[in-house]
Amino acid sequence: MSARPAVAAALVAGLLLLAACAPEPGEVPPSPENPSSPSAPAASGSPTPSPTATAVALPTDCRAILSQAVLAQLGPTPLNDPGLGIATGVQPDGSLVCAWRDPAADTTGLITEITRMSRGPALGMLNGLASSDGFSCFTPNGGTRCEKVWDDATYPVKNGRTLFWRDDILIDTRWSNLAPIGYTDSIVSHLFGG
């Protein structure tokens, strides 16, 4: 019986630790997608996704979710080319996969998956990326965003991954040598307004 209070105390201490590590709102790390962000490094503590609000519909069109400015940066890059050999467009579960890449290119391109993910699994995944994989996480636009940029192992280019979670929707983009400015923000604005 005496073990129960100790377990409860440990759980409360763990939750307080997670809350203490949460980044402050408005902290934005510099990245190719956010070149005007502050030069101070962002908090890379445990992210805390926002509570779920009203249900947001998953998008069905890869071009419609992007602003004209972002589309202009993507230029003639092929979208969902069958030569990539991956499933793109609307998936059987309703998620959307957008692959901006020329199948003949060695590295340049990006792939975005927009899926449903509830708060618990999202929190677990984002915490793992922040604590184990060196992602920087912050809380813009009513959600939680985690990102990381690294050098490609083969080519002299940058690779990266940006994730944004809000209201049970996860936007997950992996890119190599193609990071249009405002890409994720454009999708967020389309889905959630603002």
CA-only gyration radius of the chain, Å = 18
Closest by CA to 31, choosing from 131, 163, 121, is 163
Q: What are phi and psi of 30, to 5 degrees?
A: -70, 140
Comparison of pLDDT for 1 and 71, the residue scoring more: 71
Dihedral sign computed on CA atoms, order 113, 95, 183, 143: negative
Q: What are the structure tokens assigned to 153, written together?
A: 């192992």
1-25 pLDDT, tens per residue? 444 333 333 333 333 333 333 333 3
- Summarised one tens digit per residue, pLDDT across range 88-142 is 999 999 999 999 999 999 999 999 999 999 999 998 999 999 999 999 999 999 9
Q: Is 17 in a helix, a strand, or coil?
A: helix
pLDDT at 36 over 50: no
Residue 159 has pLDDT above 90, yes or no: yes
